[in-house]
Amino acid sequence: MTLKSWLSSANGDSDFPIQNLPYGVFRDDKGARMGVAIGDRILDVGRVDHGLAPALFAQPSWNAVMAAGPAIWAALRSRLTELLSDEVHRAAVEPHLVPMAGTTLLMPFTVAEYTDFYAGKNHAVNVGTMFRGAENALPPNWLSIPIGYNGRASSVVVSGTDVVRPWGQLKGPNEELPRFAPSRRFDLELELGAIVGQPSEGMVSVADADQMIFGYVLLNDWSARDIQAWEYQPLGPFQAKATATTISPWIVTRAALEPFRVSTPQRERPLLAYLREPGPMLYDIALEVALAPEGKPESVIARTNAAELYYSAAQQLAHHTTSGCRMRVGDLLGSGTISGVDKTSRGSLLELSWGGKEPLTLETGETRSFLEDGDLLTLRGVAMGDGYRIGFGDCAGRVLPAIDLPEWAKD
Amino acid sequence: MTLKSWLSSANGDSDFPIQNLPYGVFRDDKGARMGVAIGDRILDVGRVDHGLAPALFAQPSWNAVMAAGPAIWAALRSRLTELLSDEVHRAAVEPHLVPMAGTTLLMPFTVAEYTDFYAGKNHAVNVGTMFRGAENALPPNWLSIPIGYNGRASSVVVSGTDVVRPWGQLKGPNEELPRFAPSRRFDLELELGAIVGQPSEGMVSVADADQMIFGYVLLNDWSARDIQAWEYQPLGPFQAKATATTISPWIVTRAALEPFRVSTPQRERPLLAYLREPGPMLYDIALEVALAPEGKPESVIARTNAAELYYSAAQQLAHHTTSGCRMRVGDLLGSGTISGVDKTSRGSLLELSWGGKEPLTLETGETRSFLEDGDLLTLRGVAMGDGYRIGFGDCAGRVLPAIDLPEWAKD
């Protein structure tokens, strides 16, 4: 029988049943602190008898718990499950349940460093086809390396943060010199973010890398395609990806996702030993992207699944350590854009509108090639269990107009 | 008349005269703390009457002083100059001078994020010529953008830290598939590192960017050319640059370098307004690279100057903010490899040995195409003033053999 909480709002079709117990940080009139989502409430976890050192809950961030290691992660989850399912604890715990509706959700952890990968094969093929033609769609290294680049940790913001359209150098194919202008091809990227909960020195196996991962969030890697096109050779994306990276507010733990493990697809080229997986390391998580023009209802513009990835976060993390690169508590790894095979399952407007050539028609009748000012973009994710669902909470951000250019930047 | 210290070892040909006063962190038997180099001593700055809040000196790191802002930077430098030049303070200050010889120098600051640029034109032309031919040597964006990529902050280590040769995926031009093997083309890159001392939100002008820079260090961006060749398309360098990035131990302040400002070279293509400099923003700093095979004397293998850069750190920082990217206290910006025009002034073995085709002969008679195990690599820098010299302290690291491959990584 499926385990239930004594809190009725946690049962039924809640995104936050007792099987989820995701970790976040919330603020109300008593300040910012660590919380656990349960039904329509947030458990003020530092105030209950969690059985762990109080120092782990002293800061509004999950970094200290992450640093404490997997045994503590397991002990906390086990204790929370007990506190929220056994009626005997109800009287002691209930006073520390805060209605979610009256709170503001903050960044759940401090991002140490942020790396963004490129592990969605359909996405890589789509983008490659547009930029290099179908013959050369996949870069030669793609089937051997989970390729990625270092992103900017300071760009990571929590869901609900507005995103200001960036300025940048743009150069059209027929222009001789670049102009400084607001991006006109501003886009989203639907990704899963893996949070590294343990540090490493030296090379780490895929199995150990998997155990280092504390949990997952949804991640929108906002991307200025026109800035990227001019800047990215030969050193990779830089300012095109530095405006903002939005994450969903709740860290869904690896433990909560265990029942949803699925294997990466059949390898099209054998992997080197250090990248081979000892078991299934992707997750069956249904994903969707919704776009709402300002003041209008939203349209779901894409539906796909995290199982579409070709490389797992564990493989990416193992690869990340090969050179001796030290990994740290709070490192965030973006999966790369997740796209399915068919046209309605693509995780970016670049793919959905095929580079702007086939604008998308929203349910409101408006069309979109790329994001317009005022657009509210929302990513959602859910893993469907046996009698429960594991939700991530919305990963949302609204596009605000570019700033007025300061005098000194005017040509 | 040139100002002198009452400490005689600070005068004459010391790298650390009263005009320098660089900031570091040292450890002796009393623990790790903040220090200022003067002659052959380190001033235990937290113990003297510096006139500032004690909290600024509570941690073994200069981040708190940086965060305090330019007025505090100026006040501290002024006070230190007074304390170390006026005989009246000698009795109070002298007990807090620690002989440098008995100390270990640690990381002078906590690196928030690390960005590496590519602003050496001779280097870019040399590398481009080797990889793409003389006709396409400079990427099309190079004369318009100070291009760069985000590096890995966790890779940054202080001078004296050993550097272990990395493993990685290597694929020769005639090989069909990559192998997992230790890098055989492991290299140095001679760079200057700029340390961002103030945060930003939104776009920053070149003039303001210059004022945000706290100081400079020498920087060796260790690079595995063979890993890079296979991994870097299309997302840029990743594991090739993640093994280690060595910096010199003393932060030479922007204030100390003021007398050495020189202009960037004549623009070959007009810059967009946001990148134009209001005054000279490079520095005349003589640089050299020395290589000592294990147990052998060193050979100076290159001599060049920081004035060879095409873009200043202020221009790079201004560009970094264009997309709205937030900059933080402790961000480190690598200049890119600094090479002069002639063959003896190139800042990497890739250029010095022309991709390994023209091995370099050391003074000991040995040859080098790339770095060998046991090699000790040392960068040095000095700005020559009127009656004094501003030194950076050695930026050194020894190459250790690659680790033995764990069983799970064996193919």
Give A-chain residues touching B148 at CB under 8 angstroms.
235, 238
pLDDT bracket for residue B353 (50, 70, 90):
very high
pLDDT bracket for residue A132 (50, 70, 90):
confident
pLDDT tens column, B27-60: 999 999 999 999 999 999 999 999 999 999 999 9
B176 and chain A: CB distance < 8 Å anywhere? no
Q: Is the pLDDT confidence value at A272 over 90? A: yes
pLDDT tens column, B302-326: 999 999 999 999 999 999 999 999 9
Which residue in the block uniquely carries the two structure tokens 């960037």?
B264
pLDDT bracket for residue B1 (50, 70, 90):
confident
In chain A, residues 358-377 whose CB comes closer than 8 Å to chain B: none
B59 and chain A: CB distance < 8 Å anywhere? no
Q: Are A281 and A264 in contact (CB under 8 A)?
A: yes
What pLDDT is stored for residue B131 in this prediction?
85
Q: Is B268 helix (H, G, I), strand (E, B) or coil?
A: coil
pLDDT bracket for residue B13 (50, 70, 90):
very high
Give B-chain residues touching A200 at CB under 8 angstroms.
none
**Residues 6+ positions from A399 with CB-CB distance below 8 Å:** A162, A163, A164, A165, A186, A371, A372, A373, A374, A375, A376, A377
Give B-chain residues touching A155 at CB under 8 angstroms.
325-326
Nearest CA in chain A to B331: A154
Give A-chain residues touching B230 at CB under 8 angstroms.
141, 145
Instruction: Report the alpha-carbon distance of residue A79 to residue A94 in Å, rounded.
Output: 15
Instruction: Report the alpha-carbon distance of residue A190 to residue A222 in Å, rounded.
Output: 9
Q: Are A236 and A380 in contact (CB under 8 A)?
A: no
Nearest CA in chain A to B154: A326
Q: Is the pLDDT confidence value at B163 over 90? A: yes
How close B44 gets to chain A, by Cα (Å)? 30
Q: Which of A152, A408, A411 sits opposite B325 (nearest CB)?
A: A152
Count of other CB atoms within 10 angstroms of residue B264: 18
Show contacts of B44-53: CB within 8 Å, 24+ apart.
B44/B96, B44/B97, B44/B98, B45/B80, B45/B96, B47/B96, B48/B83, B48/B92, B48/B93, B48/B96, B49/B83, B49/B92, B50/B76, B50/B79, B50/B80, B50/B83, B51/B75, B51/B79, B52/B76, B52/B79
Per-residue exposure over B39-49, b if at least 16 CB sit within 10 Å of its own CB, e if not: bbbbbbbbebe
Q: Which of A1-5, A309-313, A407-411, B351-355 has the lowest mean pLDDT?
A: A1-5
Backbone angles phi, psi at A142, to 5 degrees: -60, -40
Nearest CA in chain A to B205: A408
Q: What average pLDDT does the segment A28-36 reach?
A: 97
Asked if B233 lies within 8 A of A139 by C-beta distance, the reply is yes
What pLDDT is stored for residue A1 in this prediction?
73
Q: Which of A382, A93, A38 is nearest to A216 (CA)?
A: A382
Q: Which of B147, B269, B411 sits opposite A231 (nearest CB)?
A: B147
Per the residue annotation, which of B50, B123, B319, B320 is the catalytic one?
B123
Q: Are B395 and B219 in contact (CB under 8 A)?
A: yes
Nearest CA in chain A to B147: A231
**CA–CA distances in Å: residue A383 to residues A215, A259, A336, B298, B375:** 14, 9, 19, 61, 53
**CA–CA distances in Å: residue A76 to residues A7, A68, A196, B324:** 19, 11, 18, 38
What pLDDT is stored for residue A9 in this prediction?
98
B244 and chain A: CB distance < 8 Å anywhere? yes
Complex-level ipTM: 0.97
Give B-chain residues touching A189 at CB under 8 angstroms.
none
pLDDT tens column, A179-238: 999 999 999 999 999 999 999 999 999 999 999 999 999 999 999 999 999 999 999 999
Backbone angles phi, psi at A118, to 5 degrees: -150, 50
Which residue in the block uniquely carries the two structure tokens 């979109």?
A368
Asked if B148 lies within 8 A of A238 by C-beta distance, the reply is yes
Q: In the numeric block, which tokens belong to residue B374?
A: 């046991």
pLDDT tens column, A43-57: 999 999 999 999 999
Residue to test with chain B: of A144, A163, A323, most B Cβ within 10 A: A323
Q: Are B349 and B362 in contact (CB under 8 A)?
A: no
Q: Which of B212, B263, B316, B318 is nearest to A408 (CA)?
A: B318
Nearest CA in chain B to A404: B203
Instruction: Report the alpha-carbon distance of residue B328 to residue B198 in Å, rounded.
Output: 6
B330 and chain A: CB distance < 8 Å anywhere? no
Backbone angles phi, psi at A206, to 5 degrees: -60, -40
pLDDT tens column, B52-107: 999 999 999 999 999 999 999 999 999 999 999 999 999 999 999 999 999 999 99
Q: Which pairing describes strands B282-283 and A104-106: parallel, antiparallel, or unpaired? A: unpaired
Which residues, in sequence order, are bridge partners of residue A303? A288
**CA–CA distances in Å: residue A221 to residues A156, A286, A348:** 9, 18, 10
Q: Are A330 and A215 in contact (CB under 8 A)?
A: no
- What is chain A's mean pLDDT, rounded? 97
What pLDDT is stored for residue B132 in this prediction?
86
Residue type, B402: A
Q: Which pairing describes strands A395-400 and B245-247: parallel, antiparallel, or unpaired? A: unpaired
Q: Are A231 and A166 in contact (CB under 8 A)?
A: no
Q: Which of A272, A324, A408 sits opposite B164 (nearest CB)?
A: A324
Q: Which of A180, A164, A240, A166 is nearest to A408 (CA)?
A: A180
Of residues A2 and B311, more confidence is placed in B311
Q: What average pLDDT does the segment A307-334 reach?
A: 98
B123 part of the active site: yes
Q: Is the pLDDT confidence value at B257 over 90? A: yes
Residues written for chain B: 411
Give A-chain residues touching B139 at CB under 8 angstroms.
233-234
What pLDDT is stored for residue A131 in this prediction?
85
Domains of chain A: 8-106 (2.30.30.230), 114-402 (3.90.850.10)
Nearest CA in chain B to A173: B140
Which residues, in sequence order, are bridge partners of residue A186? A224
Residues of chain B with pLDDT > 70: what percent? Answer: 100
Residues written for chain A: 411
Q: Which helix (H) or strand (E) holds A256?
A: helix A254-257
Q: Is A159 left (phi over 0), alpha (psi -120 to 50) or beta?
A: beta
Asked if A410 lies within 8 A of B273 by C-beta distance, the reply is yes
Half-sphere exposure of B82 toward its Cβ, with a 13 Å CA cutoff? 10
Q: Is A66 helix (H, G, I), strand (E, B) or coil?
A: helix
Q: In the numeric block, which tokens belong to residue B384?
A: 């020559």
Count of other CB atoms within 10 angstroms of residue A40: 16
Q: Which of A179, A198, A168 is nearest to A63 (CA)?
A: A198
Residue B234, preceding bond cis, omega within 30 degrees? yes
What pLDDT is stored for residue B360 in this prediction?
97
| DSSP calls for A68-90 | H-HHHHHHHHHHHHHHHH-GGGH
Q: What average pLDDT does the segment A70-85 reach?
A: 98
What pLDDT is stored for residue B402 in this prediction?
98
Q: Which of B112, B167, B203 sits opposite A167 (nearest CB)?
A: B203
Which residues, in sequence order, are bridge partners of residue A104? A27
**CA–CA distances in Å: residue B172 to residues B178, B180, B181:** 8, 12, 12
Instruction: Report the alpha-carbon distance of residue A123 to residue A140 in Å, rounded.
Output: 15
Q: What average pLDDT does the segment B222-240 reach?
A: 97
Q: What is the dihedral of CA A191, A197, A203, A206, to 10 degrees?
A: -60
